[in-house]
Amino acid sequence: MSRVYNFSAGPSCLPEEVLKECAAEMLEYGTTGQSVMEMSHRSKAYEPIIADAEAMVRKLMNVPENYKVLFLQGGASTQFAMVALNLGNKKGKAAYINTGVWSKKAIAEAKKLGIAVDVIATSEDKGFNYIPKVEKIEGDYDYAYICLNNTIMGTHYEYIPETGNIPLVADISSCVLSEPLDVSKFGVLFAGAQKNLAPAGVTLVIIRDDLITETPRAGTPTMLTYKTHADDGSMFNTPPCYTIYVLGKVLHWVEKNGGAEGMGKRNHEKADYLYNYLDNNDFYHATAQKGSRSLMNVPFLTKYSTGAADEASVAKEKEINDKFVKEAAAAGFVNLKGHRLVGGMRASIYNAMSFEGVKALVEFMKKFAEANK
Ligand SMILES: Cc1ncc(COP(=O)(O)O)c(C=O)c1O
C-alpha cells in the first residue's frame, strides 16, 4: 500500500520527510534513550524542543518583539472564548465580520460571554461565497474579529481591514504560513495546528504584549487567561509536548522550502492550476467568487448541482458526488467529499500537498468528467 494524496480539510497531510524523521526518532530521541512522547516537559531534553518551535514561528512569520508566541490547547474553538474573555474586558463591545461557519461560532461564543457584538458585515446573502469589502473598521470596540480563511466556504481575504487603534483578531487556522502575513497588523492571531503546522492538539496563538491583561472579564478561568500562559512560557500546565515537537519539524521543512514566501509561491501554483481547470471546463465549477478565493480550500460542484430541489435532480446530484468521491478514493485521492453546507467536493491543498498531487487530481477529474458527461 503506498501513500495516498490526502485532500482532507484537517487534520491533513504532513510532509513525508517529517513523518519519516519522527519515525526514526520514535524510540530514542538523540542520545536521551527515550521517545519525545515520554519526556517530562520540564526536562533538559525537552526545553530546546519547545524553544526551537517558538523560535521557528518567530523567524518564519517575522513576529515582532512585542508579541508573545503561545502553544495552547483546546483547539481554535477555545480561542473564540479566550479572545472575548481577555480582549472584551473594557467596553464589552466588539465588531465581527461574518463570513461563515467559523466566524458564526466565534460570534455566538462572544455573545454567550456577554459581549455586545456588532456584526458589521456579512456575506450570508450569497451563501458566504465571497468576502465582504470592509476596508476600515471604526467605533467604540475592544477588538475587531475576522476569519482570514474560511475552510468550509473556501474563501479568503485578499485585504486586511484597517482598524486604527482597535486590535484586529484573526482566525488563521486554515491559512497559517500559507503565504507571507504582516503580523504587526494584528493584535491576536490564532491557528489550530492540524492543517498547516502539526497533528491536532496544539493551538498557536500570537498576541501583542499590551493585550495580555491581568484583568480579563469577571469569572475567566485561569486556563483561559492569556497571561497565565504568557507568564509561564506555555508551561503553566503540561503542554502537548509531542505535537509541539512535530510542529518544530514541520517549520524546519517550511524553512527548507523557502519559508512563507516559498510556501506562497508553491500554493499559488497549485491553486492557480486547479482554479484554472475549474474555470475552463463545462463539467465542474468552483463555488467561491473570484477575488475571494482560498489558496488552501477549494470547494467545487459538478454540472449536476443545478440548485433544483425536485427529487430526481437531488438524487442525480447525490449519485454523481458519491461516485466521484468513491472513484477518487479508489484511485488514491482521499477526503474529497464536500462539507454538507456547500455540497459537492472540496480539495484542501495545504502546504504539504505537492503540485504533483494537484496535477494528478486534475487528471483524474478530467477522466471522470469524460466518463460522466
Ligand atoms: C477556520 C477554522 N477555525 C476554527 C476551527 C476549529 O478548530 P478546532 O477544531 O481546532 O477547534 C476550524 C476547524 O476546521 C477552522 O477551519
In the chain, the domains with their CATH numbers are 16-256 (3.40.640.10), 258-371 (3.90.1150.10)
Q: From ligand 1's centre to the CA of 194, what distance in Å?
A: 9
Which DSSP string do the residues of 157-222 spell out, in sequence order? -SS--B-TTSPEEEE-TTTTTSS---GGG-SEEEEESTTTTSSTT-EEEEEEGGG--S--STT--G
Grid cell of 300 as nine digits: 467545487
Other C-beta atoms closer than 10 Å to the C-beta of 144 total 25
CA-nearest of 251, 241, 197 to 34 is 241
CB 299 within 8 A of CB 337: no
DSSP state at residue 136: B
Any idea which residue has 442525480 for its cell?
316
Q: Whose CA is nearest to atom 10 of ligand 1?
A: 75
Is residue 75 lining ligand 1, measured as CB closer than 6 Å?
A: yes
Is residue 171 lining ligand 1, measured as CB closer than 6 Å?
A: yes
Coil, helix or strand for 363?
helix
Is residue 279 exposed (0-12), middle (13-18) or buried (19+ Cβ within 10 Å)? exposed
Is residue 109 lining ligand 1, measured as CB closer than 6 Å?
A: no
Grid cell of 131 as nine digits: 468576502
Cα–Cα dist 326/330, whole Å:
6
Tell me if residue 210 is catalytic.
no
Tell me if residue 195 is catalytic.
yes
Q: From ligand 1's centre to the CA of 33, what distance in Å?
A: 36
Cα–Cα dist 88/345, whole Å:
38
Catalytic residue among 68, 102, 270, 337: 102
Cα–Cα dist 213/234, whole Å:
16
Which pLDDT score is estimated for 1? 62
Grid cell of 20 as nine digits: 519519516
CB 336 within 8 A of CB 7: yes
Coil, helix or strand for 261?
helix
CB 148 within 8 A of CB 156: yes
* 80 CA closest ligand 1 atom index: 4
Coil, helix or strand for 42?
coil
* 193 CA closest ligand 1 atom index: 10
Q: Whose CA is nearest to atom 16 of ligand 1?
A: 151
Is residue 25 exposed (0-12), middle (13-18) or buried (19+ Cβ within 10 Å)? middle
In order along its 373 residues, the chain shows pLDDT tens digits of 689 999 999 999 999 999 999 999 999 999 999 999 999 999 999 999 999 999 999 999 999 999 999 999 999 999 999 999 999 999 999 999 999 999 999 999 999 999 999 999 999 999 999 999 998 999 999 999 999 999 999 999 999 999 999 999 999 999 999 999 999 999 999 999 999 999 999 999 999 999 999 999 999 999 999 999 999 999 999 999 999 999 999 999 999 999 999 999 999 999 999 999 999 999 999 999 999 999 999 999 999 999 999 999 999 999 999 999 999 999 999 999 999 999 999 999 999 999 999 999 999 999 999 999 9
Is residue 240 lining ligand 1, measured as CB closer than 6 Å?
A: no
Which pLDDT score is estimated for 126? 96
For residue 290, what is the enclosing H or E element? none
Cα–Cα dist 307/155, whole Å:
20
Cα–Cα dist 294/16, whole Å:
24
> What Rg do the C-alpha atoms of the chain give, in angstroms?
21
Is residue 294 lining ligand 1, measured as CB closer than 6 Å?
A: no
Tell me if residue 102 is catalytic.
yes
- Give, for ligand 1, the residue of 174, 203, 348 to mutate: max count of ligand atoms closer than 8 Å to Cβ: 174
Total residues belonging to the chain = 373
pTM for this predicted structure = 0.98
- Please report, to the nearest 10 degrees, the dihedral formed by the alpha carbons of residues 121, 109, 183, 254 taken in order: -110
Cα–Cα dist 334/3, whole Å:
10
